[in-house]
Amino acid sequence: MSSSVLSPAARLRGLKPDWLNDPKVWRTEVLGGLVVALALIPEAISFSIIAGVDPAIGLFASFTMAVTISVVGGRRAMISAATGAVALVIAPLNREHGFGYLVAAVILAGVFQIVLGALGVAKLMRFVPRSVMVGFVNALAVLIFMAQVPEMYDVPWAVYPLILGGLALMVFFPKFTKVIPAPLVSIVVLTVITVAAGIAVPTVGDKGELPSSLPAPGLPDVPFTPDTLTTVAPYALAMALVGLMESLMTAKLVDDITDTRSSKTRESIGQGVANIVTGFFGGMGGCAMIGQTMINVKVSGARTRLSTFLAGSFLMVLCIVFGPVVSDIPMAALVAVMVMVSFATFDWHSIAPRTLKRMPAGEIAVMAVTVVCVVATANLAIGVVVGSVTAMVVFARRVARLADVTAVTDPDGSTVVYSVTGELFFASSNDLVGRFDYAGDPDRVVVDLSGAHVWDASSVAALDAVETRYAQRGKTVRITGLNEPSADLHARLTGELTGSH
């Protein structure tokens, strides 16, 4: 038989995902999903409390978000679930108008995310500089660690040796074998110790009651009127923007860690679909979870959609079938896991003295501003926006200095040629007007722009101002050397930017 003709079994193998053909990958994905599910439980309950809803609502949201995004998302192995950022946005709506309005906001936020994704909002990610990305990662690590501090305050003394023991297990266990994720080993060992020895420490069960059945679909309990829409829409839009920002930043981070590319547009639309599904199942909505994604990708080594799907599936199985066992897991075990994640997430190279010595001051400032804003507001989206704006200001100042003007007068003294080089835009063109000798120059002036590029209306207005000042003294100006885009812009706007013509 020709080698080019494949048997039905071979063709079927080619259609199957890689993890179905590789037991090692299968094992990594399954165990990664299990560790993430265990770490999701206390987080989802905590975020439910922030949003002012029953703990089951956060757990349902984490289940539906993870399972849905595993199918429709654009970034493999990324974990989406109920998050603190979303909880903070929609908490006032739930407090003032009730749970039905919260669910309606989640569904509408999903619609907004699909529209924004289709309009190409994901393309804005290319405007996020590397210094902002590093600041975002470091701030995230700080937030993950800070979120564990309350679990280490005013607790029985036994909590501290348990946390240290969990950290020691995660550091040294991988030296013997990496077949089983160290965080899972740590959680199991610490749970067995506390239960067997009857050590009284805070447990997952102390966070809230776990659900005993699967969520049922239904419509939000709100009047379907324009008033409801105007009440819900601002919260839904805020949730959509915060959720997309956090999800796209996380996707970019996972791209860098795994050295693979993902579809940010598909991820944006997928987040919307997942929130709509979550809303119809009575969940509180969510977005990408950076801490849990780091557990899945960086700690467990997961790389496929299977781990994301199983994280959501295991979450419900653990709550409904193994609720009493899960309730006995000491919070110290999960705190140790998250502390380890925070240390693994932080980019220690970025703050090494050698790195800081070589890094431009502007880049360091942008990174620091991003970290401070994120930590101060506990909102990753605000930090990224402020950091990006700061980076743009730093860039504008740097490029503005590159614009230069030199003058050469003809031997006969009848003409002066000004050569302008560099990028002319709002920051650099502000100084342009003051670089000419209006009173001392001869009657004919040539402004040579062959070494420059005109980017905006501010630059055209500056050139107009130069011509006007010379004209007031009876002198003529000729502008030469414009490249095609600059000439088009100049021809379109010159003389049209002031009312005095």
Over the stretch 61-87, which tens digit does the pLDDT of each residue have? 999 999 999 999 999 999 999 987 788
19 in Cβ contact with 306 (< 8 Å): yes
pLDDT over 80 (residue 6)? no
Residue 375: predicted pLDDT: 87
181 in Cβ contact with 32 (< 8 Å): yes
Rounded percentage of the chain residues whose pLDDT exceeds 70: 94
- For 36-53, the pLDDT digits (tens) are 998 888 888 878 877 888
Q: Tell me the pLDDT band of 17, cut-offs 50, 70 and 90.
A: low
pLDDT over 50 (residue 4)? no
pTM, two decimal places: 0.73
Helix (H, G, I), strand (E, B) or coil at 329: coil
- For 369-380, the pLDDT digits (tens) are 999 998 888 777
pLDDT over 70 (residue 9)? no
89 against 489, higher pLDDT? 489
| Pairwise CA distance, residues 16 & 20, whole Å | 7
**pLDDT (average), residues 202-211:** 86
**pLDDT (average), residues 133-150:** 85
Residue 384: predicted pLDDT: 81
pLDDT over 50 (residue 306)? yes
Residue 3: predicted pLDDT: 45
- Residue 467 main-chain phi, psi, to 5 deg: -60, -40
- Residue 116 main-chain phi, psi, to 5 deg: -60, -40
**pLDDT (average), residues 157-168:** 95
- Mean of the per-residue pLDDT values for the chain? 87
Q: Tell me the pLDDT band of 418, cut-offs 50, 70 and 90.
A: very high
383 in Cβ contact with 373 (< 8 Å): yes
Q: Tell me the pLDDT band of 500, cut-offs 50, 70 and 90.
A: very low
Beta carbons within 8 Å of 300's beta carbon, 6+ residues apart: 28, 31, 32, 35, 36, 181, 183, 307
Q: Tell me the pLDDT band of 180, cut-offs 50, 70 and 90.
A: confident
Q: Tell me the pLDDT band of 105, cut-offs 50, 70 and 90.
A: very high
pLDDT over 50 (residue 54)? yes
- For 269-289, the pLDDT digits (tens) are 999 999 999 999 999 999 999
CA 333 to chain centroid, in Å, comes to: 27
